[in-house]
Structure 1
Amino acid sequence: MATYIILSRFSSEAFTDPNEFKQLAATVSEKIKSECPGVTWKDSYATMGRFDVIDIVESDDVKQIEKAAMIIHGYGHSTTETLVATPWKEFLEML
């Protein structure tokens, strides 16, 4: 399975009260689970930098990753950037 990192930044219209975010996150999560069964969620992190959330996911189907990113983008009112991630040891072996 390939590993991907989805970087997300919330728009100012995403929510007005931080408590609303819990429901928004649950909605996005359920939508991805139902529409992107080929995506395995490995971990998520809240960050305090240029991006608000970093999600680490795996899939053999890049189309499923694209769809998950669009669900985050649309339902989560976020901008997203998706990166393919190669484990460091594998990268070094390839050189």
Structure 2
Amino acid sequence: MATFIMLTRLIQGTKAPPKSTDKVRQHLAEQIGQNCPDVEWRSSFAVLGPYDFLDIFTAPGIDAAMRVATTVRASGYAHTEIWGASELHPIDAAVRTSDPLAE
């Protein structure tokens, strides 16, 4: 399973803003569970900055990650950005083996 990070920004659109983010999150969790049963949610955070939420999940590949983003966008309340992520250990090892100055 690959790890993905999804950044979500709430948008003002043609829909009235949600009265409860809890209800929106619950609805989206149900929709993602139905549309993407092979996705496993790891963590969710509210964040400061240009995005409102950061979610970490695992999925079998990019197609499943795209289904998650599409499901969130289809709500009409959010813009999403998906990033692939990797543990640092394999990256550190690759850098060490390609660094001519490494001892």
Q: What is the aligned length?
A: 93
8 Å Cα contact 1:46-1:53 kept in structure 2: yes
- Write out the 4+ residue segments of structure 1 that deviate beyond 2 Å after TM superposition: none
**Pair 1:5 & 2:2 matched:** no
TM-score under structure 1 normalisation? 0.89
Cα separation, 1, equivalents of 2:89 and 2:82: 21
TM-score under structure 2 normalisation? 0.82
Q: For 1:47, give the aligned amino acid.
A: V
Cα separation, 2, equivalents of 1:40 and 1:25: 15
SS in structure 2 of the partner of residue 34 of structure 1? helix
Cα separation, 2, equivalents of 1:65 and 1:16: 24
**Which position in structure 1 is the counterpart of 2:60?**
60
**Which position in structure 1 is the counterpart of 2:77?**
77
SS in structure 2 of the partner of residue 4 of structure 1? strand
**Which position in structure 2 is the counterpart of 1:39?**
39
Identity value in percent: 25
1:26-57 per-position Cα deviation (integer Å, ceiling 9, x unaligned): 10110001110111100000001111000001
8 Å Cα contact 2:18-2:24 kept in structure 1: no
Structure 1 spans left out of the alignment, 5+ residues: none
Structure showing greater radius of gyration is 2
Cα separation, 1, equivalents of 2:80 and 2:38: 19
